[in-house]
Amino acid sequence: MDKKELLTEKKKKIWILIGKNTASFAFCIGCIYLFLFLFGSHNILPSVAVVVGLMTFPALDLRVEPISFCVTAFLLFPLAGIAAALSFGNIWLSILCNFGITFFILLLTAEPLQMKPYITFLLCYIFSQGSPVLTPEVFASRMICLTVGGLSVALVTYFTWRRRPKSCRQHSLHEQVLLSGRHKSFILRMAIGLTLSGIIGFIFHLKKPMWISIAVFSLTQIDVRETHQRIKYRVIATIIGVFLFLLFCQYLIPQEYIFFFIIFLGYVGTWVKEYKYVQIINTISAINASLVLFDSAAAIGSRILLLGIGIAIVLALFFPDYIYRRLAGRHKKSGGTRSGASLPSASETFTET
């Protein structure tokens, strides 16, 4: 193949990629606006989680029996909405709902861990909390929205998976729970972290408690090194995002065109995969969206403060593992236990098994 043919082939691949990303973005926006039209503006955030499910699950091979996973997906969406609504009742309900629903979701969907199927369902819960239902009518609308969304995700996933040839043996729901249950530390850290986020938001009546929950959700990883890396990237991305928000949304772009700028950033996000760059876009979009509650200075201050609280929660939950490793290291240096039996590994207590 000569240089001219190579260039033509590269151009063809670029145009295919442009078409694919544009179609994907148009599908996302179209679905969100459809949910907006059908269920109202108070259901926009939960509908984003539904769209994430529609975009991701059909393309994944989770090695779970299709009917088992799809029934689980169908039920988890409205269940997340119910738990989110109940969590605003009182502090004890907040603790019970935050810990219970997070633990339950991860127990069903933590595996396969590298594909992170739990993301969609935890996003649904966090986003449902981020736009609370205040009246019975709004709650009914939320339940219909999440039931329709869950059914859509389940059906699309089921019929997509049925047409796909089986690459390996598929797990039953019981086997899936046993596999997910191996990651006790990760499940507990996420559940405790989101519970603490909920307690702080409830006690201090924060306008944007979701910003703590999202930080905890995003930064809680199995490996402490990945958590440290994400913290570094998120802090830097937040600073850059704040600067770019002030530059573009406060100085360069007239108010009537900011909506189109945010849409453009969303499209750019379809091309950006690295965590640190995605967080820059997320910071700009989140601060702009929060201007209905804050002025720009308060929005920026809240974003930074609540991110700091989220980081503190995540690091605090890794502290027991650090202590255990230090104690285990000293024990090994001293020659082990008197009976000759070794201490259990950290993976059996605070880190993943």
Q: Is the pLDDT of residue 18 over 60?
A: yes
* Band (222; pLDDT cuts 50, 70, 90): confident
Q: Is the pLDDT of residue 321 over 70?
A: no
Q: Is the pLDDT of residue 341 over 90?
A: no
Residues whose CB falls within 8 Å of the CB of residue 352, separated by 6 or more in sequence, listed in order: 113, 182, 183, 185, 186, 222
* Band (223; pLDDT cuts 50, 70, 90): confident
- Apex 32 CA angle, 216 and 245, nearest 5: 55
CA distance 276 to 272: 9
Residue range 26-46: mean pLDDT, rounded: 95
Residues paired with residue 64 on neighbouring β-strands, in sequence order: 171
- Please report, rounded to a whole number, the percentage of residues in the chain having pLDDT higher than 70: 90
Tell me the Cα Rg of the chain: 22
Average pLDDT value over all residues in the chain: 89
CA distance 300 to 297: 5
CA distance 187 to 234: 22
> How deeply is 86 buried, as exposed, middle or buried, from its count of CB atoms within 10 A (0-12, 13-18, 19+)?
middle
Whether the CB-CB separation of 213 and 313 falls below 8 Å is answered with: no
pLDDT tens, residue by residue, 101-146: 999 999 999 998 889 999 999 999 999 999 999 899 999 999 999 9
Please give the C-alpha separations between residue 73 and each of 38, 137, 162, 163, 196, in angstroms, as whole numbers. 21, 24, 16, 19, 26
Q: Is the pLDDT of residue 332 over 90?
A: no
Question: Given 3-state DSSP classes, what are the helix, strand and coil percentages for the chain, each rounded to the nearest 5?
Answer: 80, 0, 20
